[in-house]
């Protein structure tokens, strides 16, 4: 009936809100001794959140710093594998956040980051200004929305863990392959040496010819 239609409509809105809420997600390759910066123009008095994680490379660490439009550093961390930073802007302008791998001279990194701007809009109309309690239907839809957000966060987390574990497995596979090739070469050289040594044992030495006769 009408109640079921209303439930489906509100729950669909919760689903679309959970899937549509978000910001900028990006996975970038950071070469050795390099730095990459991103710029975002923001209004004053809003909240932004930066989450990042190193997926592969070296010791899975990276330097990160954030600057406000006045050039003031509002966040700075060195050699972090992952972290999260939230801030309410005080000035309007271009905010800059950079990832640096300048401390590494031979290993490049792959870094994932998620940049969220502003608070998530309310799922229900005038939800923040309501003076009455939520109905059972509205409470159920809000709960569904929160659970969907938790599912999305968990999926992102597991995707990153899967990518990190795959990178480590590929690195381990490469080391095993190199070790196997090295062992093969060593065994080949030892075999040749043993054959030559055994051959020298059974080689007949001819007496030297010539000499003064009497």
CA pair distance 188, 182, nearest whole angstrom = 10
Residue at a domain's end among 119, 147, 170: 119
Q: Name residues whose C-beta falls within 8 Å of residue 66's C-beta, 6 or more positions apart in sequence.
A: 50, 73, 74, 75, 76, 85, 87, 95, 96, 97, 98
| Whether 87 and 165 share a structural domain | no
- Position 133 scores a pLDDT of 63
Q: 6 lies in a domain? A: no
| Whether 107 and 140 share a structural domain | no
Domains contained in the chain, number: 2
β-strand pairing of 93-100 with 35-42: antiparallel
- The phi-psi region of residue 126 (left if phi > 0; otherwise alpha if psi is between -120 and 50; otherwise beta) is left
| Whether 82 and 111 share a structural domain | yes
Q: 160 lies in a domain? A: yes
- The phi-psi region of residue 213 (left if phi > 0; otherwise alpha if psi is between -120 and 50; otherwise beta) is beta
- The answer to whether residues 95 and 89 touch, using CB atoms and an 8 Å cutoff, is yes
| Whether 70 and 34 share a structural domain | yes
Q: 7 lies in a domain? A: no
CA pair distance 77, 27, nearest whole angstrom = 19
Could you tell me the residue range of the domain that residue 51 belongs to? Answer: 24-119
pLDDT tens per residue across all 214 residues of the chain:
443 444 344 444 444 444 444 468 888 889 988 999 999 999 898 989 999 999 888 888 999 999 999 999 999 999 998 899 999 999 999 999 999 999 888 888 889 998 988 766 666 666 556 656 667 777 777 788 778 878 877 887 787 778 777 777 887 888 899 899 999 999 999 999 888 888 887 776 666 655 554 4
Query: Cα–Cα distances in Å, from 82 out to 27, 92, 99, 137, 165?
Result: 13, 28, 12, 38, 15
- Position 198 scores a pLDDT of 82
- Position 78 scores a pLDDT of 93
pTM (whole model) above 0.85: no
List the CATH number of the domain containing 32: 2.60.120.680
């Amino acid at each position: 009936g009408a109640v079921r239609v209303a439930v489906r409509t509100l729950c669909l809105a919760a689903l679309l809100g959970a899937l549509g809420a978000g910001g900028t997600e990006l996975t970038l390759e950071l070469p050795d001794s390099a730095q990459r910066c991103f710029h975002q123009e923001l209004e004053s008095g809003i909240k932004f959140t930066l989450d990042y994680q190193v997926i592969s490379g070296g010791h899975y660490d990276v330097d990160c710093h954030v600057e406000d439009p006045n050039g003031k550093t509002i966040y700075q961390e060195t050699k972090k594998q992952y972290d999260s930073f939230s801030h309410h802007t005080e000035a309007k302008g271009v905010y800059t956040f950079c990832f640096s791998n300048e401390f590494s001279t031979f290993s490049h990194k792959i870094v994932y980051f998620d940049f969220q701007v502003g608070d998530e809009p309310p799922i229900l109309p005038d939800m923040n200004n309501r003076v009455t309690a939520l109905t059972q239907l509205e409470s159920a839809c809000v709960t569904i929305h929160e659970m969907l957000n938790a599912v999305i966060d968990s999926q992102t987390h597991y995707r990153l863990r899967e990518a990190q574990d795959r990178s480590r497995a590929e690195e381990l596979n490469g080391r095993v392959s190199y070790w196997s090739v090295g062992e093969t070469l060593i065994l080949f050289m030892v075999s040749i040496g043993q054959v030559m040594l055994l051959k020298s044992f059974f080689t007949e030495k001819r007496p030297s010819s010539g000499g003064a006769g009497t």
